[in-house]
Chains A and B, each alone.
Chain A
Amino acid sequence: DSGVTQTPKHLITATGQRVTLRCSPRSGDLSVYWYQQSLDQGLQFLIQYYNGEERAKGNILERFSAQQFPDLHSELNLSSLELGDSALYFCASSATGTANAGELFFGEGSRLTVL
């Protein structure tokens, strides 16, 4: 158990709809990362938050948005869903400090299916 909790584990929805994925990081971790894993694109970095502020942005579509709340949990909002958005969405968190630099702890993912 990584200590990172993601909900829901599975989600099935229709094109055009909007969903919210939730992530609770490990206790004490200030950084949260969102990744998308699909068969054709592999593991793609979407966005990172650090203590409530956006820290880095990757290949995140304009239809997607994220935020990190004061209690450090994060939400990824996906709107106007398309079939191609079907994927496994991972949240990861990391401890601060150079000793642990780059060691991410991943949740088990939220599998999104868009029909």
Chain B
Amino acid sequence: AQSVAQPEDQVNVAEGNPLTVKCTYSVSGNPYLFWYVQYPNRGLQFLLKYITGDNLVKGSYGFEAEFNKSQTSFHLKKPSALVSDSALYFCAVRDHPGGGNKLTFGTGTQLKVEL
């Protein structure tokens, strides 16, 4: 079964510093990987995805993610964090073939950006 792991429950970073939220995956075949963000009392919002192609994927709000096949990782990054980036971040993998667009999510990482 496809799965993703987020090893950190919480990441703290100072505003203006770079941030990294970690994700590792376990899939059979080529992975379809995603990052979503959840702000308090809101639904999840799509940030970016990796299907194929360049290992560095750019997404919304200045976020990017680096796909690393040898390390089976898909870490989310941002060069300069903002206080408004504070939220819960989920890594996800799409089930395929035959799984439609169903996503399996990681446990989430709470990002806290402080002044």
**Residues of chain A having any CB pair with chain B under 8 Å:** 2, 4, 31, 33, 35, 42-43, 45, 48, 50, 55-56, 58, 90, 92, 94, 101-109
Residues B44 and A104 in contact, CB atoms below 8 Å apart: yes
**Residues of chain B having any CB pair with chain A under 8 Å:** 32, 34, 36, 41-46, 49, 51, 90, 92, 94-95, 99-108
Residues B108 and A101 in contact, CB atoms below 8 Å apart: no
A residues near B92, Cβ cutoff 8 Å:
102
Work out how many contacts link A and B, with CB atoms closer than 8 A.
66
Residues A101 and B103 in contact, CB atoms below 8 Å apart: no
Residues B94 and A58 in contact, CB atoms below 8 Å apart: no
Residues B43 and A106 in contact, CB atoms below 8 Å apart: yes
Residues B102 and A48 in contact, CB atoms below 8 Å apart: yes
A residues near B104, Cβ cutoff 8 Å:
45
A residues near B49, Cβ cutoff 8 Å:
102-103
A103-B49, A108-B43, A109-B43 known; A56+B102 contact, CB < 8 A: yes
B43 in complex: contacting residue of A2, A31, A58, A101, CB < 8 Å:
A2
B107 in complex: contacting residue of A42, A55, A104, CB < 8 Å:
A42
CA distance A55 to B90 in the complex (A): 23
List the 8 closest A-B pairs by CB distance, nearest first.
A106-B43, A43-B105, A102-B94, A106-B44, A42-B107, A56-B102, A94-B101, A108-B43
Q: Can you give 19 contacting A-B residue pairs, CB < 8 Å?
A: A2-B43, A4-B43, A33-B101, A42-B105, A42-B106, A42-B107, A42-B108, A43-B90, A45-B105, A48-B102, A50-B100, A55-B100, A55-B102, A56-B99, A102-B49, A103-B46, A104-B46, A108-B43, A109-B43
Kindly name the residue among B34, B43, B46, B94 whose own CB sees the greatest number of chain A CB atoms within 10 A: B43
A residues near B95, Cβ cutoff 8 Å:
56
CA distance A107 to B44 in the complex (A): 8
